[in-house]
Amino acid sequence: MDWYALFVEASKEDYVHQHLCLDFDKSVLNSIVPKRRLTERKAGKVHHVLKNLFPGYVLVNTQMSNNIYSKVTAIPRVIKILSSGSYYTQIEEKEILPILKLVGDGGILDYSKIYLENSRVIVKSGPLKGMEGMINRLDRRKNRAKILINFLNTSRLIDVGIEILDIIDN
């Protein structure tokens, strides 16, 4: 089975995901809406929120056929299945594998625990462990890291939540 990206109306990703789960058996089509956990400060209080990793997209894993294509595009709020010329184009394995590794089975990119040693980032645990090369920038005040992800042949900088365990400056 291959991965495809559905382009959906803004803020309707979960709605489309629910319809896909109702209309298809998991052995035929599996869908995820990748999310990331972030901290936000409002009125002096820290809140933990979930935001879409790729707003406007739902990822589906299926063996695409004309029948499945017709059923998926008939779901309300689905604009189209992304393509490059033909009716649908699969997401390349080199793009989807890092995304699936980051979000895990639950579809949520959770916090990574990191150490800062001089200007070097060491990931102790979490989804970014072993993927330190993706980290582009850190925001210590907001407890966020900007990571570089290739998705649909474009590079995107995405904010992800981190937990800074210790800062060591020599």
d(CA 56, CA 84): 18
Compute the mean pLDDT over every residue in the chain, rounded to the nearest whole number: 91
28-77 residue pLDDT tens? 999 999 999 999 988 889 899 999 999 999 999 999 999 999 999 999 99
Q: Which CATH superfamily is domain 2-168 in?
A: NusG, N-terminal domain (3.30.70.940)
Query: 3: which strand partners?
Result: 61
88 backbone φψ class: left, alpha, beta (φ>0; ψ -120 to 50) = beta
pLDDT of 158 > 80? The answer is yes
Q: What is the pLDDT of residue 35?
A: 95
**What's the mean pLDDT in 123-152?**
90
Q: What is the pLDDT of residue 53?
A: 93
d(CA 114, CA 164): 5
Q: What is the 3-state secondary structure (H, E, C) of 29-56?
A: EEEECCEEEEEEEECCEEEEEEEECCCC
For the chain, what are the domain ranges?
2-168
Long-range contacts of 18-21 (CB under 8 A, 24+ apart): 19/75, 19/76, 20/58, 20/60, 20/72, 20/75
pLDDT band for position 166 (cuts 50, 70, 90): confident
Residue 167: CB atoms within 10 Å: 11
